[in-house]
Structure 1
Amino acid sequence: MRVAAAIAEVPTAAINLIDLSRQSPLATVGFDGADSPRDESMCAIQFRTGRFVHVADCFADPIYASNPWVTGERGDVRFYASAPLITPEGYVLGTLCVFDAVARSLRPDQASRLLDLADVIVALFERRRHARATADLAAAQERTTRLLETVMDTIDVGLAVTDADGQITSLNRAAQSWHGVAEIPLSSDQITLRGPDGAAIKLAAHRVVDDCDDVIGTVVTAA
């Protein structure tokens, strides 16, 4: 936020997220931020337009003159500018805003740099969101794998799972017991299973999902 304030050459700046009922400052500089009702927010007035807002003198602007952040009830804002935080899908999350207690104007290059900074902030949001989604997906896959392995180990049918190239990726408890080892063989051709009586066991291989290119389930049954 110090970067935004430095760009605008003002003492105060904030990243505000706005929902249906409130404005929440994610980061501030120059003042202590706190949640406030949306109907009192300066940022909420025009943020959905998706346009950069630049008000040199809020006292003289009919849209902002009666706002509690301008009248002194909540603050003493005289100059105000904000860049919308817009996701790639077009959702406006809130604003990057800068303000001051004295009237002033931004130069075009300052406005452009604030818009660029808003894009950087959204990119960081998106990166964090994708990282969280990836972590959640990995955790869900791990839970599914553990559940599948548990189920596989509770049945008495020997089960070998291979990839599309025929490489075995998993043997359940029954298959390991028949094969006599816990290590996974290199390919299905190298499996020599034997039953409890020592007799060779015939492999009956069936694709569990015929249209799946990645995983083939091989069910091992006795001759």
Structure 2
Amino acid sequence: MPLFPVIANEDERLAALNSYGVLDTAAEIDFDEITTLASAICHTPVALISLVDAERQWFKSHPGVDVSETPKDQSFCAHAIAKPADIMEISDARSDVRFANNPLVTGDTNIVFYAGVPLVNEDGFALGTLCIIDHQQKKLTAEQANALRILAKQVMDKLELRRKMAALEATNQELVDSNVFIKKFASMAAHDIKNPLSSILLTSQALKIRLHKLQDEGCGKLVDLNITSTNRLITMLDEMLTYSQTPATLLAKKQRASLEDLLQRVLCMVVIPHSFEVKLPEGDHMLNISSVAFEQIFLNLISNAIRYNDKEQGVLQIRFDQDDDYYRFEVQDNGMGITEQYHEKIFANNFTLKITDRYNKKGNGIGLSTVKDLVKALKGSIHVKSAVGEGATFYITIKK
């Protein structure tokens, strides 16, 4: 017969025990105070926090005892954890057939009385015990047994807190590592994109000089548009790179700007078909806002409104209103529309409707997800109302 009970889910129990990262760690005052209190309440010379692994029982707290572990086949606690819901109490181990010949009973340790409360985690696994030991016969009172249960729960609470803190630190480190990677990637991508943009700018400027000599005003206007758009893209890249390195500046670095100017800058970066009409808000409204975030939001929404419009005459209406706390925008089109079941899903990362646009291309599911993230960063909200064939209206609020 085995010297200790065989637990059916022992592999899972051991995995749970190891997940706490507590085995073979140094003594800690928080745990020693609990064992000291257990000894005082139960009037025993020894109290231990014992964790039972595959080959041994290891003591996280053992004040007054020289050894820090004993073999599992001598462990009283290996028996106690077999019944996680009960206190195992042995008044006289010398007369118990399980322990009468145990070296811890017959030897210098001279264990006579033992009581152990299993340390049961949130998943129901008994990791070890809070136990007390005496060298003479004893019986716990109901009050002592209840106190021992309470103290065992405190031990388990501390172990759970330890594990959750370790998990939080690991997650935080992953976020730090991820943030470092994103910063490096953003920097690399910005430089890689700026190089061809700079080339486009230089060649456009050279072409403008030639066209001026040839007095070709029509082509000259197209080149001017190319130069303006390229300059704006380079500026946006610089701003985006700054925000990627210090995301908090997205809220902190607000600028006072004209709504009309902001929208015109966006429209300069979009190819608008001749059959498409864009209606801007009336009046001159001044906003205090992150311009790069605003432009990214409306660049996505306007581009989508154009791409997914199947009407002979496309119409995009942008409306603006405000109150004491928020700027409020509506972006309404007369395009394909969106089925109601997808009104929330379209803002999920990598979600697409699997339809082709007017240029016979499919979306990548990044645009609206990015828009929602930006709006959220600006402490605002976005939602859509739409019906198939009747276009869509996006409602955006942005905190002032």
TM bin (shorter chain): 0.7 to 0.9
- Could you say if the C-alpha distance between residues 155 and 88 of structure 1 is closer, same or farther in structure 2, counting changes exceeding 3 Å? same
Distance 2:371 2:60 in 1: 45
Task: Say whether the 8 Å CA contact 2:119–2:127 is kept in structure 1.
Answer: yes
CA distance in 2, matches of 1:92, 1:84: 6
Equivalent of 2:75, from 41, 49, 54? 41
Alignment partner of 1:119 is 2:153: yes
Matched, 1:153 2:184: no
What secondary structure does 1:97 align onto? strand
Cα distance in 2 for residues equivalent to 1:70 and 1:214? 68
Task: Tell me which residue corresponds to 1:162.
Answer: none
Task: Considering Cα pairs closer than 8 Å and 6+ residues apart, tell me whether 1 or 2 has the greater RCO.
Answer: 1
Alignment of 1:65-104 (within 5 A): 65-72=100-107, 75-104=109-138
Number of the residue aligned with 2:95:
60
Q: How far did residue 205 of structure 1 move? A: 2.9
Structure 1 position 128, deviation (Å): 1.4
- Higher share in helix: 2
Given candidates 222, 236, 248, the residue that maps to 1:175 is 236
Report the Cα distance in structure 1 between the residues aligned to 2:367 and 2:92, rounded to whole angstroms.
68
Mapped pair 1:205 → 2:300: yes
The one-character-per-residue Cα deviations of 1:36-67 (angstroms, maximum 9, x if unpaired) are 22111111123221120111111111122122
| DSSP 3-state at the match of 1:84 | strand
Q: Is 2:22 aligned against 1:22?
A: no
2:238, 2:369 → 1: CA distance?
30
Residues 1:109 and 2:204 aligned together:
no
Report whether the alignment pairs 1:3 with 2:64. Answer: no
CA distance change for structure 1 residues 66 and 201 in 2, over 3 Å: closer, same or farther? same
Alignment TM-score, normalising by the size of structure 2? 0.44
AA aligned to 2:72 is R
Quickly say closer, same or farther: Cα 1:140–1:213, change in 2 above 3 A: farther
1:117–1:70 distance in 2 versus 1, CA, 3 Å: same
In the TM superposition, residue 140 of structure 1 has moved relative to its aligned partner by 0.5
State the Cα distance separating 1:4 from its structure 2 match. 0.8
Shift, 1:176, TM fit: 4.8
| 1:148-179 residue CA offsets vs partner (Å, 9 max, x unmatched) | 12111111448xxxxxxxxxxxxxx9735379
1:21 positional shift: 1.1
1:161 maps to none
Residue identity matched to 2:80: Q
Shift of 1:108: 1.1
Rounded Cα–Cα distance in structure 1 between residues aligned with 2:170 and 2:372? 22
* Aligned partners of 1:78 and 1:103 also within 8 Å: yes
C-alpha deviation, 1:186, in angstroms: 3.8
Per-residue displacement from partner, 1:3-46 (whole Å, max 9, x unpaired)?
01011101111000111111100001231232222111111123
Structure 2 gap ranges (5+):
1-34, 195-233, 244-248, 271-294, 302-364, 376-400
Mind listing any 5+ residue stretches in structure 1 that lack a counterpart?
Answer: 159-172, 195-199, 218-223
Partners of 1:178 and 1:54 in 2: CA distance: 70
Kept after mapping to 1: 8 A contact 2:47/2:63? yes
Where 2:115 maps in the other structure, the secondary structure is: strand
Amino acid at match of 1:54: E
- The CA RMSD over aligned residues, in Å, is 3.2
SS of corresponding position for 2:238: helix
> For structure 1, which segment, 148-157 or 50-59, has the greater mean C-alpha deviation from structure 2 after superposition?
148-157
Computing the radius of gyration from Cα coordinates, the structure with the larger value is 2
Query: How far apart in 1 are the matches of 2:235 and 2:113?
Result: 75
Render the CA deviation track for 1:101-143: whole Å, top value 9, x for unaligned.
1111111110111011000110111111111111111111111
What letter matches 2:300 in structure 1? Answer: A
Displacement over 2 Å in runs of 4+: 173-179, 181-192, 200-207, 209-217
